Amino acid sequence: MSSTQIHATKNQESPGKLHGRFRARMAVPVAAAARLRLGLWLGALSLLVGLGPLASRGSAAARPDVVIFLADDLGQLDSTPYGATWLRTPNMQRLANAGLTFTRAYVASPSCAASRAALLTGLMPARNGAEENHSKPHAALKKWPAYFQDLGYEVVAFGKVSHYRHTGDYGFDHFANDSFHDHAGIPAAVELLQRRAGAAPRKPLCLFVGSNWPHVPWPEKDLGYDPAKVPLPAGTVDTPATRQWWARYAAAVTKCDDDLGLVLDAVRAHLPANTLFLFSSDHGAQWPFAKWTLYEAGVAAPLIVDWPGVVTRGSRTAAMVQWVDLLPTLVEAVGGKTPADIDGRSFVPVLRGQAEQHRTRIFTTHANDRGVNVYPARAVRDERFKYIRNLHPEFAFTTHVDLVRGPSGAREFFATWETAAKTDPQAAAILQRYHSRPAEELYDLSADPHEQRNLAADTRHAARLATLRTDLDAWMKSQGDTQRVFAAPRLLTDPKSWGPGGEIRGDTKQAPKKKNPKS
């Protein structure tokens, strides 16, 4: 590993333990304090509203309100607007019926912190500094709230908007309920909208609402889905335990849809008719070949925009867009000047029906999730093909799904894949593909949308492979991508560190016990 820096994370307690102990000791005091802070802020807001034009800057009062609703770990295909008619997502569907659905929207990275930092800075991970999960962007960067505050907006966040307790670093005028699975953020957002009803003139509002669903832990009872009947994703080993867990995920998706419905109802009841409402998710589900990967199930995101009088109701677009594009797009949509020094590019012409295309290339990156998942990769897709470069194919691919037996993992079902692989060649092939990945992967997304057939070794596609290699090389250089490895990996040559031998019980640990490989 000649040119790679290896940095193991040490002496950091896992988020699950921290959240668990904090909730156990502080649940009542924190909830009370949050309600007090919200009440004080709403009171101040009411006073501000009463000041009328003096409270807004320039023409801010004429700008539309903006509401961004974010799901947590929701795969693009896992809702009725994207074809999953077996799932109960009526609110996602009614939003799609009213707005514009993007069929090729992508996040920057398939882990929470890296994805959300890119959204809130308009910069890709290597440039904003938040490459690995749980990391933060550079403090000096201008972030989403500041752009909208410059335009006279009140910028507010409830729930999981940044990566949990990172919210305070972004400069929101008010934020609350940003701890692990704190579901009080949804009713708090609804209360804010009720309090603003009929209060005009006032500052325009830019409101973020983050649901904690369908992030794990998933519901365990009263699922409302029959495990025997749920359709399983491509590349899944079909076992009873797997079906039970996928039904649990489905129940969590419906809970996310319930959250969306509450906020959507409040927006339509209490905000002006020209309010711009955007719905999306930070990356795919916590499932094999999804979250923590650069496959479509990991980086393709649902994106639906309802902007009455601007977008065509019930329409769809195949324009390729990314999460870094959302910041400049919404800045332009409300009448601001798009920032020139970020990676994002405005797709307002797509919203207005004036353009059918936006990007010709989509780039995505992944680093690691502490020591549980250490598998740096980069990818680029064009209109038809995707090229994935696994920077260290000697690493074993692992995640919370296969390693962790506890609330944050899913080893309970993944272990049944290992059992099946002993007698079922197809299961064995899936397991092999999961842990051991080649240096390069190439997929024809038009013929193989679920990326099951790697064409990198197919000479018929050699020219396309070479072109995408060159594109990725140039982009990585432009980003200042150092290809740094942030934690000690699990190596394929050390099978005790992954598979059954690497099992983590109860919660996540930071890294394998073995020493770092030499650089």
Q: Give me the CATH number covering residue 273.
A: 3.40.720.10
Radius of gyration from C-alpha coordinates of the chain: 22
Q: Which two tokens stand for residue 402?
A: 């296969």
Residue 104 lies in a domain: yes
Report yes or no: 257 and 92 within 8 Å, Cβ to Cβ. Answer: yes
pLDDT band at 179 (very low <50, low <70, confident <90, very high): confident
Q: Which two tokens stand for residue 103?
A: 């069929």
Alpha helices in 352-439 (DSSP H): 400-403, 411-421, 425-435
Instruction: Give the Cα separation of 101 and 82 in Å (integer).
Output: 9
Instruction: Give the Cα separation of 395 and 317 in Å (integer).
Output: 38
| pLDDT score, position 98 | 98
| pLDDT score, position 256 | 98
Range of the domain at 191: 60-361
- Check the CA dihedral 246-248-249-251 and report its sign: positive
Residue 154 lies in a domain: yes
Q: Which residues pair with 105 in a beta bridge?
A: 301, 321
Whether the pLDDT of residue 456 is over 90: the answer is yes
Report yes or no: 359 and 410 within 8 Å, Cβ to Cβ. Answer: no
State the average pLDDT for the chain. Answer: 89
Return the C-alpha torsion angle 333, 334, 336, 340, nearest 10. Answer: -30
Instruction: Give the Cα separation of 434 and 495 in Å (integer).
Output: 14
For 195, how many CA atoms within 13 A lie in the half-sphere containing its CB? 20
Sequence-ordered list of residues with C-beta below 8 angstroms from that of 232, at least 6 positions apart, any chain:
238, 242, 243, 246
Residue 447 lies in a domain: no
The average pLDDT across 392-399 equals 98
Whether the pLDDT of residue 61 is over 70: the answer is no
Single-letter residue type at 426: Q
pLDDT band at 18 (very low <50, low <70, confident <90, very high): very low
The average pLDDT across 340-353 equals 97
Report yes or no: 96 and 81 within 8 Å, Cβ to Cβ. Answer: yes
HEC profile for 430-459?
A: HHHHHHCCCCEEEEECCCCCCCCCCCCCCH
| pLDDT score, position 49 | 38
Residue with tokens 């609110």: 91
Report yes or no: 404 and 507 within 8 Å, Cβ to Cβ. Answer: yes
pLDDT band at 393 (very low <50, low <70, confident <90, very high): very high
The average pLDDT across 44-48 equals 43
For 47, how many CA atoms within 13 A lie in the half-sphere containing its CB? 6
Whether the pLDDT of residue 42 is over 80: the answer is no
Instruction: Give the Cα separation of 455 and 288 in Å (integer).
Output: 21
Percent of the chain with pLDDT over 90: 83
Residue 392 lies in a domain: no
The average pLDDT across 230-257 equals 98
Single-letter residue type at 481: D
Single-letter residue type at 487: A
Sequence-ordered list of residues with C-beta below 8 angstroms from that of 473, at least 6 positions apart, any chain:
none
Report yes or no: 235 and 433 within 8 Å, Cβ to Cβ. Answer: yes
Instruction: Give the Cα separation of 135 and 366 in Å (integer).
Output: 13
| pLDDT score, position 164 | 87
Residue 454 lies in a domain: no
Q: Which two tokens stand for residue 275?
A: 């309010």
Q: How many domains does the chain have?
A: 1
| pLDDT score, position 200 | 66
Percent of the chain with pLDDT over 70: 85
Q: Exposed e or buried b for every residue in 52-71, given b needs 16+ CB within 10 A? A: eeebbeeebbebbbbbbbbb
How many CB atoms sit inside 10 A of residue 169's CB?
15
Residue 22 lies in a domain: no
The average pLDDT across 301-310 equals 98
Instruction: Give the Cα separation of 124 and 136 in Å (integer).
Output: 13
pLDDT band at 59 (very low <50, low <70, confident <90, very high): low
Report yes or no: 65 and 275 within 8 Å, Cβ to Cβ. Answer: yes
287 dihedral zone (left: phi>0; alpha: psi -120 to 50; beta)? beta
| pLDDT score, position 94 | 98
The average pLDDT across 327-332 equals 98
Report yes or no: 239 and 420 within 8 Å, Cβ to Cβ. Answer: yes
The average pLDDT across 447-464 equals 98
Q: Give the Å distances, CA to CA, from 496 to 57, 402, 404, 509, 514.
A: 61, 13, 15, 15, 10
Residue 490 lies in a domain: no
| pLDDT score, position 239 | 98
Report yes or no: 245 and 38 within 8 Å, Cβ to Cβ. Answer: no
Whether the pLDDT of residue 75 is over 80: the answer is yes
Residue 314 lies in a domain: yes
| pLDDT score, position 417 | 98
